[in-house]
């Protein structure tokens, strides 16, 4: 058994110049909101969910992005309601939020 049931990693990388990056899409705000929601829902801690910051996940064209493991489910999101849906559906019940899936061919 794993120490955590699930990890969600939020890319918070900021690129120089005009390159696409998650930081320009308030990824830090989404991370903070997710962390607070997971804690409020009682989902945080050993045997449950861990919300992590990540550097570049190399999927910049789909920014902002987050990935849930162990499933390896990649999400893109727009606002806090999208994060709420990921928390409620995927992190709480194990149900993938199909409408927020990052297409598999989206890279840097």
Whole-angstrom CA distances from 1 to 5, 22, 47 are 8, 32, 9
Over the stretch 6-27, which tens digit does the pLDDT of each residue have?
Answer: 999 999 999 988 888 999 999 9
Alpha-carbon dihedral 39, 15, 57, 103, rounded to 10 degrees: 100
In the block, tokens 């994060």 appear at 83
Q: Please give the model's pTM, rounded to 2 decimal places.
A: 0.94
Confidence tier at 2 by pLDDT (50, 70, 90): confident
Over the stretch 76-86, which tens digit does the pLDDT of each residue have?
Answer: 999 999 999 99
Phi/psi-derived region of residue 97, left when phi > 0, alpha when psi is between -120 and 50, beta in every other case: beta
Confidence tier at 102 by pLDDT (50, 70, 90): very high
Q: Which domains does the chain have, with CATH numbers?
A: 6-100 (3.40.30.10)
Answer with the residue of higher pLDDT: 2 or 75. Answer: 75
């Amino acid at each position: 058994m794993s120490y955590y049931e699930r990890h969600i990693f939020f890319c918070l990388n900021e690129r120089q110049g005009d390159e696409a990056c998650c930081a320009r899409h308030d990824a830090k705000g989404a991370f903070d909101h997710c962390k607070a929601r997971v804690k409020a829902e009682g989902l945080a801690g050993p045997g449950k969910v861990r919300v992590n910051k990540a550097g570049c996940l190399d999927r910049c064209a789909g920014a902002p992005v987050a990935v849930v493991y162990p499933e390896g489910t990649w999400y893109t999101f727009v606002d806090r309601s999208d994060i709420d849906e990921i928390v409620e559906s995927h992190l709480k019940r194990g149900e993938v939020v199909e409408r927020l899936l990052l297409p598999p061919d989206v890279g840097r």
